[in-house]
Amino acid sequence: MSIKLIRYSPWLVHFNTGGCNGCDIEVLAALMPHFDPERFGVRLAPSVRHGDILVVTGAITKKAAVRLKRLYDQMPNPKFVVAVGACACDGGVFKGAYGILRGAKEVIPVDAYVPGCPPRPEAILYGIVKLFQKIELLAKAKSK
């Protein structure tokens, strides 16, 4: 699939590692009709094999890192990753704990970060729209 096509109909895969589930609730709220993510073409993918953008929430434990890497590998190329919340960005309040990694970037490449504990649904959609702009720049660079 072309990078340009992802910009117009991205399908999200949501991976929650657990924790307090605050970011998980906000991601689900951002996908509800009140915030109308479909105006950007965003939909939740029925399977990881159909997803274009992986949305990661929660603190990345060593056990969750294995599952996260497996999910990332199962997604078709091109694929993008958004880390939502302080825990997914850099470990959050669990930073420095023996079983917690310092964010999703230690397991998979992250393309966009949405900081906050938890971030508001508007911020999550803003982060996804910023990722779209990055995807458009990549598409323009590849077409040259």
Number of domains into which the chain is organized = 1
Rg of the chain (C-alpha set): 14
What is the model's pLDDT at position 81? 94
Q: What are phi and psi of 120, to 5 degrees?
A: -70, 155
What is the model's pLDDT at position 5? 57
- Residue ranges for the chain with pLDDT beneath 70: 1-8
- CA 30 to CA 24: how far, in whole Å? 10
Residue range(s) defining the domain that contains residue 119: 3-133
CATH code at 30?
3.40.50.12280
What is the model's pLDDT at position 2? 56
Record the tokens describing residue 74, joined without a space: 């199962």
Kindly state whether residue 113 falls inside one of the protein's structural domains: yes
What is the model's pLDDT at position 73? 93
Kindly state whether residue 114 falls inside one of the protein's structural domains: yes
Kindly state whether residue 142 falls inside one of the protein's structural domains: no
What is the model's pLDDT at position 3? 60
Coil, helix or strand at residue 76? coil
Kindly state whether residue 45 falls inside one of the protein's structural domains: yes
Asked if residue 83 lies in contact with residue 89, where contact means CB atoms within 8 angstroms, the answer is yes
Kindly state whether residue 141 falls inside one of the protein's structural domains: no
